[in-house]
Amino acid sequence: MNIQENISLKAYNTFGIAKNARFFVSIKSVDELKEALEWAKIQNINPLILGGGSNILLTQNQETLVIKIEIQGIKVVQENDGFYFVEVGAGVNWHQFVLTSIENNWAGIENLSLIPGTVGASPMQNIGAYGIEIKDVFSSLKALNRDTLTLQEFNAGQCKFGYRESIFKHELKDKYVICSVVFRLSKEPKFHTEYGAIKETLEASGIKELSLKAISDAVIHIRQSKLPDPKEIGNSGSFFKNPTISKEHFSVLQNENPSIPGFPNAEGIKVPAAWLIEQCGWKGQRFGEIGVHAKQPLVLVNYGEGDGNEIKNLATRIQQSVLERFGITIHPEVNFL
Give the residue numbers annotated as catalytic, written as ranges: 164, 238, 333
Cβ atoms of 280 and 286 within 8 Å: the answer is: no
DSSP assignment string, 147-159: TT--EEEEEHHHH
Cβ atoms of 16 and 233 within 8 Å: the answer is: no
The alpha helices in 153-243, defined as continuous H runs, are 156-159, 198-204, 212-226
3-class SS of residue 162: strand
- Of the candidates 111, 157, 102, which has an alpha carbon nearest to the alpha carbon of residue 135? 157
Cβ atoms of 25 and 65 within 8 Å: the answer is: yes
Cα distances (Å, whole numbers) of residue 81 to 85, 88, 187: 11, 21, 8
